[in-house]
Amino acid sequence: HEGVPTDRPPSPSPRCPMFSGLFRGAPAQSAGAARAAPRRSGGAVQPSVKKYRNAQANLDKKQGRGKKEKEPPALAKELARQKGGKQKQATSDSEDGLGDAAAASTSGKTKLERKRLRRKERQKEMKQTAKDLKAKDAQEQGGGREGDGKQNKKKNKRNAAKEKSEPDEPPSKKKKGGGSEPLPIVSLLLSATSSSGTSLGKAAERLKGSRFRWLNQTLYTTTGDAAKKLFEEDPTLAQAYHDGFTAQRAKWPRDPLLDVIEWIRKEVPADGVIGDFGCGEARIALALPKREIHSFDLVRVNERVTPCNLADVPLKNGTLDVVVFCLALMGTDWLSFMQEAHRCLRPGGLCHIVEVESRFEDFGAVVSRIQGLGFELVLDSAGDGSFFVELRFQKDEGSTGGRGKKKKKAAGGKEAKGAGLGACIYKQR
């Protein structure tokens, strides 16, 4: 500004053109009144208080006023040393999670060394927590054998890596000489029960249910020979399947095998020879111990069972009076099971079949294929609204069935897959 001394700030007088509008015939106003006062429409525009303050600040900045004087370097260092020091160092150590002893031990260390020490302390805590969790799991599982802790750890690591690499395979481990054995953790889960209500028992039940569904689907979608090889490679599959089957049977409206046993007791002569094909646990032989009963299945789960493929049972031609298939026509080649039953029956012998009603995709096709093997339908309970269907066929009097005969073919020269019977697949809950 012209005419304003440089050693002091200009006074807001009408002589200064910048502030001439503030004092045009009106007394000085406060900041709030200046903001509330309306602007004039004509003449010079009245600047706001904010602009005035900015202008004053810029002027002070140019002339070097309003700045704090800096302390001398020596005085600044002394103040910083007094402000920081040992008290600040001890406070920071205690805030980072170190105890009083650790803080005292790190009082003379650098920041990097203190950081490393804190990291080591955290790692120790994590290791201790992991050990406590392992000990708790071992206590829930009943503990392990003494003296082989390190060996079990190595086995568990190898088994866990194998499970990740082979997720679709059944939970088993192959032996060197053929066959397989269940993995240690799988064996533990399979032997556990949910009676205790622990997380281990619940996991065991889920594993058993999953394993049963996989086995059930495999048996319905493969041949009898392939199913037999599968059970021979892993004998534990048989017990796993029967345990799952028993659990499912408890949910049925009725047990059809009890009706079959009652029919045999009342209508089949006492000297009649019975063949139980796909016997499972051979419950017919258990319920009728005085009768001559041959029980066949893929695996021998007890002394009453003869293991074999149902398409090739170890009996001579015409040795049976009754053949029973109770929920046993499971393979895709079930017609070969029926042909083997025809071979083993005497002329006029009976073949009694019980199956789930939902399996019959084409009831007429199933009956016609069985009749084409040399049977005549004598009983049909389809359509009575029951959960199961009972069919009874009688072998033709003049019919003979030798081992040399070829299997009957469906129309078109090829054996139809399933031949009218669909798979009974349990849905995952």
Q: Which residue has the tokens 């490393």?
A: 116
The mean pLDDT value for 280-296 works out to 96
pLDDT at 410 over 80: no
Of residues 156 and 323, more confidence is placed in 323
Q: Check residue 116 and give its pLDDT.
A: 85
Q: Check residue 161 and give its pLDDT.
A: 58
Q: Check residue 86 and give its pLDDT.
A: 47
In Å, how far are 29, 59, 67, 361 from 6, measured between CA atoms?
Answer: 27, 10, 17, 109
Q: Check residue 142 and give its pLDDT.
A: 62
Q: Check residue 247 and give its pLDDT.
A: 86
Q: How confident is the model at residue 386 (pLDDT cuts 50, 70, 90)?
A: confident
The mean pLDDT value for 193-218 works out to 70
Distance CA 155, CA 130 (A): 19
Sign, CA dihedral 84-89-94-96, equals positive
pLDDT at 107 over 90: no
- Listing DSSP states for 211-276 in one string gives HHHHHHHHHHSS-HHHHHHHHHH-THHHHHHHHHHHHHHTTSSS-HHHHHHHHHHHHS-TT--EEE
2-57 tens-digit pLDDT? 555 555 555 554 455 555 555 555 455 555 555 555 554 444 445 566 677 777 77
pLDDT at 392 over 80: yes
Three-state DSSP class for 357? Answer: helix
Q: How confident is the model at residue 189 (pLDDT cuts 50, 70, 90)?
A: very low
Of residues 134 and 96, more confidence is placed in 134
Strand bridging mode 305-307 / 293-297:
parallel
Of residues 405 and 72, more confidence is placed in 72
167 Cβ neighbours under 8 A, 6+ residues apart: none
Nearest to 255 by CA among 275, 281, 274, 231: 281
Q: Check residue 172 and give its pLDDT.
A: 46
Average pLDDT over all residues of the chain: 73
Starting at the earlier edge strand, list the strands of the sheet with 375-380: 305-307, 293-297, 274-277, 320-326, 345-356, 388-395, 375-380
Of residues 141 and 379, more confidence is placed in 379
The mean pLDDT value for 302-327 works out to 95
